[in-house]
Chain A
Amino acid sequence: MDLATILQILDSTVRLGTPLLLACLAGLFSERAGIFDIGLEGKMLMAAFFSGAVAAITGSVLLGLTAGVLSSLLLSAIHGAASITFRGNQLISGVAINFLASGLTVLIGQKWFQLGGRTPPLSGDGRFAPITLPFAETLREVPVIGPIYYELISGHSILVYVAFAAVPLSWWLLYRTRFGLRLRAVGENPAAVDTAGISVVRMRYAAVMICGLLTGLAGAYLATALSAGFVKEMTAGRGYIALAALIFAKWRPVPALGATMLFGLLEAIANRYQNIDLGGVVLPVQFMQALPYILTVVILAGFIGKATPPRAGGEAYVKER
């Protein structure tokens, strides 16, 4: 395997890992505040649809992105209302959001475009174009560093850089600000936060909204950067893989980057090689595709460290009993 091949695989890893990373960070904010969210998949799907649809109608990818994020925020608000204000079951609300998104996207898509839920293909300004970073062309000839810079780091869409920037930003927000401390506390011991005179409800809504923003970006990335338009069910389980990555990363931002990129790498390798021959033992491609889930189960079973979810996760906060 030469450098060019490795770079191509890593390049593919970045593209495939980015939606997972955004969704994983989204889940992180929500779950750290004590709101389980298995509706990541549905929110991504909804955002993918509206970004694709609005970009197709207006021809502007930025309007598409805005619409995608707004639709995702709306679903987040529904999830918030159901699980924070009305103290419903968070898992059921999440499942409902997944079903809602799966049905609504196709229904609205059919109504608007008569293409069976697909949106018209995007071109030109309707898509996020790859960005060539400064000096990428000139540095290209420099051995080793040149190709790495040109192939791997340069040439992605803006949302990829946003996603990577979101990792340190999330870390700083969660661990170095008053807001972050309160957010984490709400997920561990909401009664204590309430005693300190801070609104649990407001903190949780804020977390859920951040979650909506990030899933919105993830969905828009799928429909307007990676592909050119929306196809029904195009998230294809990425929301669930992101949840697996969240557990794998033990609800921490920097390991989330590692976990999502690892899962992206596994998918990239599976795309490149159908069967991997390890000197006599052949690894079928299905094994590679199942590996993210296997790894998550291994982590959950406690073989590699201990994954402890936020203590108040999944429970609605009741002020007085």
Chain B
Amino acid sequence: MSLMTHFLGAAGVLALTTGAALADPAIIFDLGGKFDKSFNEAAFNGAKRWADETGGSFKELEMQSEAQREQALRRLAEAGSNPIVMTGFAFGDVLNTVAPDYPDTKFAIIDMVVEQPNVKSVVFTEEQGSYLVGMLAAMASETGTVGFIGGMDIPLIRKFACGYVQGVKAVNPDATVIQNMTGTTPAAWNDPVKGSELAISQKSQGADVIYAAAGGTGLGVLQAAADQGILSIGVDSNQNHLFPGKVLTSMVKRVDNSVYEAFIDGDALEPGITVMDLASEGVGYALDENNEALITAEMKAAVDDATAKIASGEIAVHDYMADNTCPVE
């Protein structure tokens, strides 16, 4: 009997949810957390902008552990959310298995390519943005040594590193770039203590500008750099305001725009691969009142020149993920 009521209840819930299929969009944040001052927060800002402008509402879900991914996706899809946007490469495999089960639902994934007929993949040319901040780092550096601190050691982060090194070498071919990865597990995104130790270690080896592409760990890097009197470069969101005058610039990835556009498209979301690059202003470097004193007119001119050349194809920045190698060290 009680089993029967369970089934009836479930059927009732199912009927209700399908009835409500005139869908709100949904967004799932990755393990870094919604307010990471970086990647996920940018995504959240995009969603919020959509809600403010259209007066619509959206569902959101924050991952707490690796094991939740599939369940979270299925739950949102079954609840009728459409489109469902997810932030982060780690959703790739899961989405590949889940997407075919919900052919009427549109999905958008950021930072990863998933080839399914109902999935829009948004990828950014991080190597181009990193190239620009690499140029700035090399021009701001007095020692000729700059640093890079990555989060978890994955190809995506190597892509940041590779673009950065290319930018540094474009300005100063003799420059040394010290590279460190925080770790090989997702814990590497949330270890500011280690980030700060890595920054201190790089400083003692002569680095005076350090680029952190490491989520929450990056906050430790920026903190240590500010404490030690050297410069740092933020990532994903504009992090210049965290330590005004101590953060040289930030490599910004307009994740917010992508989420906003996906929400605007709604049901009509166009599947396929979208590449957000310098030309479409998907990536870039941040210049605001917090760092204007650090970026000289000369530096700005050089970077703007490079921006135009990359956009026109005159400068080709190598993408690490294309062949998993980097031409420069």
Contacts and interface: CB of A to CB of B under 8 A. Distances in A.
Interface of A: 4-5, 8, 12, 15-16, 19, 106, 110, 114-118, 121, 222, 226-229, 231-234, 236-237, 267-268, 271-272, 274, 285-286, 289
Interface string B1-44: 00000000000000000000000000000000111110001000
Contacts of B216: 118, 231-232, 234
B220 interface: yes
Contacts of A226: 193, 196
B90 interface: no
Given A228-B223, A232-B33, A285 B181 contact: yes
Given A115-B35, A116-B35, A121-B223, A268 B190 contact: no
B204 interface: yes
B184 interface: yes
A231 B190 contact: yes
Nearest to B195: A227
Contacts of A236: 187, 190-191, 193-194
Contact of A117 (B35, B200, B201): B35
B302 to A, nearest CB: 30
Contacts of A16: 193, 197
Contacts of A117: 33, 35
Contacts, number: 81
B200 A12 contact: yes
A121 B187 CA distance: 20
Contact of B179 (A110, A271, A274, A286): A274
9 shortest interchain CB distances as A-B pairs: A116-B35, A236-B191, A227-B192, A8-B204, A116-B33, A231-B216, A233-B190, A226-B193, A236-B187
Given A8-B201, A268-B197, A271-B197, A234 B191 contact: yes
7 contacts: A115-B37, A231-B192, A232-B33, A234-B191, A236-B187, A271-B180, A271-B201
B22 to A, nearest CB: 31
B272 interface: no
Interface in B179-225: 179-181, 183-184, 187, 190-194, 196-198, 200-201, 204-205, 216, 219-220, 223
A100 to B, nearest CB: 14
B242 interface: yes
Interface residues of B, number: 29
Given A116-B35, A226-B196, A272 B190 contact: no
A85 to B, nearest CB: 31
A114 B180 CA distance: 31
Contacts of A118: 35, 37, 216, 219
A116 B34 contact: yes
Contacts of A19: 193
B219 A231 contact: yes
Contacts of B33: 106, 116-117, 232
A304 to B, nearest CB: 27
A233 B187 contact: yes
Nearest to B224: A227
Contacts of B37: 115, 118
Given A117-B35, A118-B219, A227-B196, 5 more contacts: A226-B196, A231-B220, A233-B190, A234-B193, A285-B181
Contact of B201 (A12, A222, A229, A286): A12
Given A116-B33, A227-B223, A232-B216, A271 B184 contact: no
B192 A234 contact: yes
A11 to B, nearest CB: 9
Interface string B26-68: 0000000111110001000000000000000000000000000
Nearest to B196: A227
Nearest to A110: B35
B1 to A, nearest CB: 35
A237 B36 CA distance: 20
Contacts of A228: 223
Contact of B194 (A115, A121, A271): A271
B63 to A, nearest CB: 12
A227 B197 CA distance: 10
Given A236-B187, A274-B179, A274-B180, A227 B193 contact: yes
A128 to B, nearest CB: 12
A298 B36 CA distance: 39
Contacts of B192: 227, 229, 231, 234
A116 B36 contact: yes
Nearest to B183: A289
A266 to B, nearest CB: 13
Given A231-B190, A231-B192, A236-B191, A15 B35 contact: no
A5 B205 CA distance: 8
Q: Which of A4, A117, A118, A227 has the most CB of B within 10 A?
A: A227
Contacts of A4: 204
B210 to A, nearest CB: 13
Contacts of A15: 197
A115 B33 CA distance: 10
Contacts of B220: 227, 231
Contacts of A271: 180, 194, 197-198, 201
A110 B64 CA distance: 14
Contacts of B197: 12, 15-16, 267-268, 271
Contacts of B242: 121
A227 B196 CA distance: 7
A232 B216 CA distance: 9
A231 B197 CA distance: 16
Contacts of A233: 187, 190
A222 B193 contact: yes
